[in-house]
């Protein structure tokens, strides 16, 4: 079950490069709170495509078109099975933004459609999806920015069941004695092309790392730990106050 836990969070936050967090050439630790927060802001835009127009249409249904050999199909099917088996999950994460700064925090997942990321101080940011929308909340400024869940990579990853070969456009599957790597590409009108890459253990399918490359070419890398599927998150964690957008 550990492999399925890590894998779910990994796909949620995505990837496109086969470099580790520690070895990423552009990754330089944040030197102070300000650089950490600015890196977080840039990372959030890459992570959830939130620097794009909210009215952009959702991507059309995708399906894998590249030729896959039987071994690759078996690996993809195992990943899909793991993803579908996880219905709730909590844990910790470390995020490396496009400028190399690092932030960390906790996350909570409840299928279908609900997720929450809480960043540790000094960051005042929370990200919440309630099944319909994604909100980026700044506790310090008391502000919220609202986006359709359908515009983010979260939309199909928080479904109760997923078949990666049918529901996403897989453009690459690689494997060696250590890792299995799956690369997913998504194209959206008015937004562009982004890529998600997952690296999981070749034997245990434990997630090692992932990176999202956004349409501008910015990478955001995430690592997860202390994963637990036995804890059911408080439903209040996923509530969005829509009255703030009624004006």
Instruction: Give the rounded distance of the alpha carbon of 43 from its chain centre.
Output: 11
Contact, 90 vs 215, CB < 8 A? no
Q: Is residue 24 part of a domain?
A: yes
Give the DSSP H/E element, type plus range, for residue 70. Answer: helix 70-85
In a domain, 76, yes or no: no
Q: What's the pLDDT at 174?
A: 92
Span 45-63, average pLDDT: 52
> Does a structural domain hold residue 73?
no
pLDDT tens track for 99-126: 898 999 999 999 999 999 999 999 888 9
Give the model's pLDDT for residue 106.
Answer: 95
The CATH number given to whatever domain includes residue 163 is: 2.50.20
Asked whether 218 and 50 are in contact (CB, 8 A), the reply is no
Residue 164 lies in a domain: yes
Residue 96 located in a structural domain: no
pLDDT at 55: 47
Share of the chain above pLDDT 90, in %: 23
For the cut 80, the answer to whether the pLDDT of residue 200 exceeds it is no
128 domain-assigned? yes
Whether the per-residue pLDDT at 10 is higher than 60: the answer is no
What residue numbers bound the domain in which 213 lies? Answer: 2-54+103-228
Per the structure, how many domains does the chain have?
A: 1
181 compared with 9, residue with greater pLDDT: 181
Domain assignment present for 60: no
Q: Looking at per-residue confidence, does 218 or 207 come out higher?
A: 218
Distance from C-alpha of 86 to C-alpha of 13, rounded to nearest angstrom: 16
- pLDDT, the chain, mean: 75
Question: 212: which 2 tokens?
Answer: 């999202």
Is position 122 within any domain? Answer: yes
Q: Is the confidence at residue 60, as pLDDT, over 80?
A: no
**CA dist list (Å): 211 to 20, 50, 77, 89:** 9, 16, 21, 20
Better pLDDT: 23 or 7 = 7
Task: Identify the pLDDT of residue 23.
Answer: 29
Contact 100, 39 (CB under 8 A): yes
pLDDT for residue 110: 95
SS3 78: helix
């Amino acid at each position: 079950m550990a492999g399925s836990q890590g894998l779910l969070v990994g796909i949620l936050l995505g990837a496109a490069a086969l470099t580790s967090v520690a070895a990423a050439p552009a990754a330089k630790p944040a030197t102070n709170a300000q650089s950490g927060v600015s890196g977080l802001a840039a990372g959030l835009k890459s992570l959830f495509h939130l620097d794009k127009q909210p009215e952009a249409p959702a991507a059309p249904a995708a399906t894998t078109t590249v030729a896959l050999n039987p071994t690759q199909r078996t690996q993809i099917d195992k990943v899909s099975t793991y993803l579908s088996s996880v219905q709730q999950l909590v844990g910790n994460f470390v995020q490396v933004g496009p400028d190399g700064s690092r932030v960390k925090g906790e996350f909570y997942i409840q299928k279908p459609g609900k997720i929450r990321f809480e960043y540790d101080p000094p960051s005042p940011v929370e990200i919440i999806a309630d099944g319909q929308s994604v909100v980026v909340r700044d506790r310090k400024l008391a502000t919220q920015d609202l986006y359709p869940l359908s515009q983010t990579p979260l939309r199909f990853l928080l479904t109760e069941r997923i078949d990666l070969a049918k529901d996403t456009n897989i453009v690459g599957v690689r494997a060696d004695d250590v890792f299995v790597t799956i690369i997913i590409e998504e194209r959206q009108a008015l937004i562009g092309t982004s890529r998600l890459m997952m690296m999981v253990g070749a034997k245990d399918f434990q997630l090692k790392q992932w990176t999202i490359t956004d349409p501008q070419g910015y990478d955001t890398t995430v690592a997860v730990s202390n994963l637990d599927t036995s804890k059911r998150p408080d439903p209040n964690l996923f509530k969005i106050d829509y009255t703030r957008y009624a004006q």
